[in-house]
Amino acid sequence: MSTELSPQRLRATLTAAVDASLEAQGLSSPNPPVGAVILDADGTVAGVGHTQPVGGPHAEVMALRVAGERARGGTAVVTLEPCNHTGRTGPCSQALLDAGIGRVYYGVADPNPQAAGGASTLVAAGVSVHGGADLDPTLTDIVESGPLRTWLHRQRTGRPLVTVKMAATVDGRIAAPDGTSRWITGPRARAHAHEQRGRIDAIIVGTGTVVADDPALTARTPDGDLRPHQPTRVILGTREIGSGAKIFDDAAPTIQVRSHDPRAVLDALDDALWVLVEGGPSIIGAFFDTDLVDEVDLYLAPAVLGAGPAAVDMASTSTIADLRRFVFGEPQRLGDDLLITLRR
């Protein structure tokens, strides 16, 4: 039978489960991007898995498949409480029981009443279960700050997590007065932005950006190939867009929401977990004005332009009291540029 994990081993294994869940982000929507690690009875990693696209196996089942018979008498460490319902797939709680798992740790209790209850089912069957409020809060933080945060945000607020993305000079300019903007940031920053696009559900721009820049808004590798997951491209605004615009190619789905209200976009994306707002300044400003921005990813170039449009244009701002304040995340160096994340 599996033995209780030490705090250090639990932290390391839960972190490994969070790392595994990165592979599910974007691909699993609207299901939660979950990661799971199976340890055999001796405490050795026997299997790692993550949630598959809708209709496919969940993280626990994928990890159990890898572990095989080594799972019997072992331990499962999962980022989210194992589900207890039958949908397109069976309940993960039962899969763990069938595999003979003796101990389960999970990072966050499932807030969805339709799927919750897996922990109780496992306990009733004699499995030792630890998770949610029973864990050290720092372990819960590891999970809630990982890929699962977008799904948890949707469950708790009823809308997707909204990230605003800006690439600017240190004086806040996103383009020159003549409209040229390629490139303010360097290749590593742009590659990072494309990697993020490959994990989100939708990318939002205004009609002005589409007309001025004719962006493709796809997620690509550094070699220019399309990534496996492409976000839905969303155009916000009433202006007509020519059918020859790149945004209407077949590389990714595209919708136009004929409104200037950011809430209308979020209502149109009823399954999305994470959306990215890329511009232009008035569209970003509208999301700030309606208090719908959860975080900002600012790619900051070590450059001064001195003139040109700013990254944000908020109609409601008239005095210093109108500041929208955020807190800094950990900055990240990307070549010559700096990625600064701001969170509510």
Tell whether residue 236 is among the known ligand binding residues. Answer: no
Q: What percent of the chain has pLDDT over 70?
A: 99
**Residues in Cβ contact with 199 at an 8 Å cutoff, skipping those fewer than 6 apart:** 22, 25, 26, 147, 229, 274
Q: Give the pLDDT of residue 92.
A: 96
Q: For the chain, which residues make up each domain, given as ranges?
A: 7-152, 159-343
pLDDT digits (tens, 9 = 90+) for 293-339: 999 999 999 999 999 999 999 888 889 988 889 999 989 999 999 99
Give CA angle at 55 (52, 56), nearest 5°: 35
pTM assigned to the model: 0.91
Tokens found for residue 137? 């809060």
Q: Which residues are tagged catalytic?
A: 60
pLDDT digits (tens, 9 = 90+) for 205-223: 999 999 989 999 999 999 9
Assign 130 to helix, strand or coil: strand
Q: Which pLDDT band, with edges at 50, 70 and 90, does 1 fall under? A: low
Determine contact, residues 90/62, Cβ cutoff 8 Å.
Answer: no
* Rounded Cα distance, 277 and 161, in Å: 11
Contacts 24+ apart (CB under 8 A), 237-244: 237/206, 237/207, 237/208, 237/283, 238/207, 239/207, 239/208, 239/211, 241/207, 241/210, 241/211
Query: Fold identical between 7-152 and 159-343?
Result: no
CA neighbor of 108 nearest in space, from 45, 18, 29: 18
pLDDT digits (tens, 9 = 90+) for 74-104: 999 999 999 998 878 889 999 999 999 999 9
Mean confidence (pLDDT) of the chain: 94
Output DSSP code: residue 226: B
Pick the CATH number of 7-152 from 3.40.140.10, 3.90.1300.10, 3.40.50.2000, 3.40.50.2300: 3.40.140.10
Give CA angle at 131 (90, 157), nearest 5°: 75
* Rounded Cα distance, 73 and 100, in Å: 6
- pLDDT above 80 for 166: yes
* Rg of the chain (C-alpha set): 22
How many Cβ atoms sit within 10 Å of the Cβ of residue 170? 12
Architecture of the 159-343 domain:
3-Layer(aba) Sandwich (3.40)
Tell whether residue 171 is among the known ligand binding residues. Answer: no
Tell whether residue 282 is among the known ligand binding residues. Answer: yes
Sign of the CA dihedral running 158, 89, 123, 67: negative
What are the phi and psi torsion angles at 135 (to 5°)?
A: -85, 160
Assign 153 to helix, strand or coil: helix
* Rounded Cα distance, 44 and 40, in Å: 5
Q: Give the pLDDT of residue 165.
A: 97
Tell whether residue 21 is among the known ligand binding residues. Answer: no
Q: Give the pLDDT of residue 181.
A: 87
Q: Give the pLDDT of residue 2.
A: 66
- Written as one string, the DSSP assignment of 277-312 is EEE-HHHHHHHHHTT---EEEEEEES----SS-BS-
Tell whether residue 75 is among the known ligand binding residues. Answer: no
Tokens found for residue 216? 């493709």
Give CA angle at 97 (94, 101), nearest 5°: 140
Assign 213 to helix, strand or coil: helix
Q: Give the pLDDT of residue 200.
A: 96
